[in-house]
Structure 1
Amino acid sequence: MQFRRYAIYHLPTGALGEFGGAWLGWDARHGMAHLRPGGLPGDADALTETPRRYGFHATLKAPFRLAPGRGPKELALALRLICDHLAPFALALETRCDWGFVALRPKRQPAGLLALEAALVTRLDAFRAPLTPAERERRNPDGLPPQARAHLDHWGYPFVLELFRYHLTLSSQLPAPLAEALRQKLAPHLAPLIAAPMPVAAVALMGEDEDGFFRMIEEVPLRG
């Protein structure tokens, strides 16, 4: 099946993954929406409109169009070969409000995470079609710091490599007081789900369908 764009995400598993998919209203792993858990802010559709179509995920290689002559099967094979040499790890998570987004972020980024992101960004870049002028402008390049703008032009996305920050987004961008209120509402529900470090044992090849929603194509284990 051909998709509009492709990406490499980490999709949390278990109870945390199920909670995130239900809260956002879209489960990218199973390609469906889940009923939201009770006792949470009522206008969840408005609070989660932006991240919903991506599902509950962390971006490792941002969405891209395939370069001419490249196909999804070749991309999947390249991803498997990379993951054969990268080891699983775990992340201790905390709830944060950054730039108006409520998200789960690791308390520290271990070497295994940084090696995984760098390998995916750099070694899969031959599969990425160059940004169109419109795609580049959507990233507001003039408002980016110089290094982020350089990454945008070289890798197609500004916040990679030394600027990479793992995050599992739980909201659209909100005014700071609303974001903090939402974080406080979600925190008690998330606390038991992140009490132990979250394993990162696989990554997911994702495809953006015609409806704009991302679906998992294949989950690839880290075998290193």
Structure 2
Amino acid sequence: MPKYLLIGLGVLLFLAMAVGDGLGIMAYLKLRSLPVQSAAAHVAGGSGSAAGKAAAKPTPKAPPRPTAENANFVEIPQFVVTIPARAPNAGTNGNAGDANAADGSAATAHPAYLQLSLSFLTESQRAAKDFAKLMPMIKSAIISDVMSSGLSPNGDPVKMKHQISEYSLQAANTIVSQADAKVGKTPFVGAYVTTFVTQ
């Protein structure tokens, strides 16, 4: 009896492997019959890999901007961020290094203060209500991002405003979407710096 059981299990195992191999071969042949993708997609991951398939998909369209009828702005009132002082980078031989930061600004001897207010655009009433409830968390994340970013008040103010807008939009979308999955991953489509004063 145990002999027949072992033989039966062996046959079932063999059949399962044969079916699996057959399905694998069919999947491979289907991929081979697809039209040739661009060289960039092939280099990114080949035609059979997940990266290659992702590269072959068309890029998603940007979300449509809300119309004036359904646009909702939520605001963070004026607040002040301290931008820490930056010392010049030391050279490798102990000599003074480059005093300029990545944004082309010079090192600052004293901390600077940045007064900001921000507006966020959404078309979701739910996202606007969630934003109001979560504003302290969003504001804290923005302050942390600005302080740790290495931005300098001596740098290009247009670049600085753009970076702050990006940090702010990312922080608001992340915090609100994690707190309420019903609003989606990007409930806010824009962040706008409405007050920008450096001291």
Shorter-chain TM-score category? under 0.3
Which structure is higher in helix share? 2
Which structure is higher in strand share? 1
- TM-score, length basis structure 2: 0.25
Please identify the structure whose Cα radius of gyration is greater. Answer: 2
- TM-score, length basis structure 1: 0.23
Which structure is richer in relative contact order (CA contacts within 8 A, separation 6 or more)? 1
